[in-house]
């Protein structure tokens, strides 16, 4: 039996640390959204307290089956009113700290799931 290494054909998070994530060879120091379909864009939010309906509407427009919300260095949950648009479109949302969100995204995207991760990199200025 031949054993072939997994080949990841979706954008993946190759490393992360306090205040940054690395997508492939690109290190990012600001909030970002990464989708398994290849979509990636800067997420214009530097602090958890600054999250608005518009931020989550951007996520809903991706029409994924699941959004993983990386809330920063510690686990925090966005207000239910902010995520209502996702729920109404039957898009799941899971909140976790940013490091856990990176790991979870890589696993689900690697399985071929249609997912996105929204990573809040706090203190980042755009």
Predicted confidence at residue 3, as pLDDT, reads: 42
CATH number corresponding to 13-119: 3.40.1230.10
Q: What value, to the nearest 5°, has the Cα angle with vertex 45 and ends 70 and 93?
A: 35
**pLDDT tens per residue, range 8-42:** 678 899 999 999 999 989 999 999 999 999 999 99
- For residues 95 and 75, the answer to whether their CB atoms sit within 8 Å is yes
Q: And the tokens for 67?
A: 């959004």
Predicted confidence at residue 7, as pLDDT, reads: 55
- For residues 28 and 113, the answer to whether their CB atoms sit within 8 Å is no
Q: What is the pTM of this model?
A: 0.89
pLDDT at 95 over 70: yes
Cα separation, 16 vs 93, in Å, equals 21
Which residue shows structure tokens 């608005």?
52
- 86 in the Ramachandran plot: left (φ > 0), alpha (ψ -120 to 50) or beta? alpha
Predicted confidence at residue 6, as pLDDT, reads: 58
Mean pLDDT of 78-106: 97
pLDDT at 113 over 50: yes
Predicted confidence at residue 2, as pLDDT, reads: 42
Domain residue ranges in the chain: 13-119
């Amino acid at each position: 039996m031949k054993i072939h290494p997994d080949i990841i054909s979706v954008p993946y998070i190759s490393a992360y640390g306090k205040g940054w994530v690395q997508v492939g060879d690109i290190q990012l120091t600001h909030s970002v959204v990464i989708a398994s379909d290849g979509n990636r864009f800067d997420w214009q939010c530097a602090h958890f307290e600054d999250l608005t309906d518009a931020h989550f509407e951007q996520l809903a427009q991706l029409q994924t089956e699941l959004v993983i919300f990386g809330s920063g260095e510690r686990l925090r949950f966005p207000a239910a009113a902010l995520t209502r648009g996702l729920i109404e479109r039957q898009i799941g949302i899971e909140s976790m700290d940013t490091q856990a969100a990176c790991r979870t995204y890589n696993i689900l995207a690697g399985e071929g799931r249609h997912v996105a991760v929204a990573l809040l990199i706090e203190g980042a200025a755009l």
